Amino acid sequence: MFQVLRACLVAFAALATLAAAHAHAQSAPAPNSSPAAGTATLREIHADGLKSIPPPVVVALSGLQPDTLAGRDNLQAAADKLVASGLFAHVKYNFQTRVDGLVVTFHVDEAPRIPAYFDNIPWFTDGELNDAIRKKISFYDGTLPGAGGIVEDASTAVSEFLAAHGLQAAVEHQSIDNPNGEGNVQAFHIEGGSLKISHLEFSDTALNTSNEIQQSLSELKGKPYSRMAIDLFLTEQVRPVYLKQGYLRAKLGPPEIRLTGNPNQKLPEQIPVFVPITPGAVYHWKGADWSGNSTLSTITLNSDLGLKPGDVADGMQVEAGFDKVRDEYAHVGYLDAKVDATPAYDDAAHTISYKVKIEEGKPYKFGALTITGLSIAAEKHLREAWPFPQGGELFDKAVYEEFLTKLQSEPKDIFGNLPVHYDKVSHWLNRDEGQNKVDVLLDFQ
């Protein structure tokens, strides 16, 4: 059986020592070994644990060459190179000795990869930039690790592609939040881009005439071109317009640069941006299937969502409804309640339903109140107005938040005519999961 190389390479100074661990023991080194250097001929290189990366890529990244002498340092350096590529979260390796040399197997766990995202490089399409990276990284599929040598190679490929088209620009990269949804993206950005957005036009004319949308566009007009800024605008300002109307699968973008004239001429500094919009179908509410709830009834939970079967599925109302469910649990002390809602679309009937799994946890009771930054007299007033008795009562987060609001907006309701001066109140909840109690800290500044 294989032995883990890191654990068992006690004596790799001679091939005779390696061979002694196997059935083919011999008293003298084999012809393909170098006892003095502690090396042996590397005959085969294998890799397992791969999901999407071809085995030859692992061999190439390792830097090892079959039919060359390899020793302890070579194998360790190969493993380090694999980790440094960023493609692998963990790398282990085993070896097997044969009369003619070594067989090495790398056991790898592929690291998560995230989509490549090109921020302010409007001269070229995503397809052209992806092709440029693919020429340098043969297995590139549009995704990259969060960091590592492979990301640097991709950045170099983009830089070389731009230079080949007469654009000398420093290309930077960073893993950032996905402006179009969940997770992260590997964003490529050129330093010192001078292009600015002259205006945005949407394929949906209703957006072009919407006062609300047009007023919001002041955030973008005249500013440096940034696809990330445009995508964030689409997510935060435009998508809610469609969600409210039941267009739950509206496709927004990607933004396009549409110019007339000679395509070989340099782009103007002020560029127009066109955003294609595909609203799709209007979806209607089918219902929610709840599980895991014992404290709150299904009737209460459905009421929190506020939709009846057949209603237009207002996506914003659905999101707010699930937030209300969480608040409902916090209202009765369940501060750790988790609401996992999974949508199910019926694209034929244009309906949506949800499977909602609830993990209620345990209810918290109020423990103790700590106050800092107030005089003794002011603290006495606050404690008298504090809505929870000392210990034993369920902690109602809604009541707690209402009290915080009163401290900021109506301090006289708590302190009366006592002169109390503060600009803000910092607050913390300290949960004790073992005793299911929560302590409160208020710091007046």
Widest distance between CA atoms in the chain? 98
Let me know how long the chain is. 445
Q: Which residues of 49-170 form beta strands (DSSP E)?
A: 68-71, 88-98, 101-110, 113-118, 143-145
**φ, ψ at 233 (rounded to 5°):** -60, -45
Letter string b/e over residues 142-172, b meaning 16 or more CB atoms within 10 A of that residue's CB: eebbeebbbbebbbebbbebbeeeeeebebe
CA dist list (Å): 119 to 125, 171, 186, 195, 321? 11, 11, 10, 12, 34
* Domains annotated on the chain, with CATH: 3-110 (3.10.20.310), 196-282 (3.10.20), 284-359 (3.10.20.310), 365-444 (3.10.20.310)
pLDDT of residue 5: 33
The larger pLDDT score, comparing residue 200 to residue 269, is at: 200
Share of the chain above pLDDT 70, in %: 89
Confidence of residue 12 (pLDDT cuts 50, 70, 90): very low
**What is d(CA 70, CA 324) in angstroms, rounded to the nearest whole number?**
63
Mean pLDDT of the chain: 88
Instruction: Tell me the mean pLDDT in the region 388-413.
Output: 91
The larger pLDDT score, comparing residue 149 to residue 101, is at: 149
> Two tokens at 210?
């919407």
Instruction: Tell me the mean pLDDT in the region 231-240.
Output: 96
- Estimate the crossing angle of helix 298-305 against helix 315-331, to 10 degrees: 140
**What is d(CA 395, CA 418) in angstroms, rounded to the nearest whole number?**
28
CA dist list (Å): 288 to 241, 243, 297, 355? 23, 18, 13, 6
What three-state secondary structure class fits 248?
Answer: coil
Q: Distance from first CA to last CA of the chain, Å, rounded?
A: 66
Q: How do residues 98-130 score in pLDDT, each as one tens digit?
A: 888 889 999 999 999 999 999 999 888 999 999
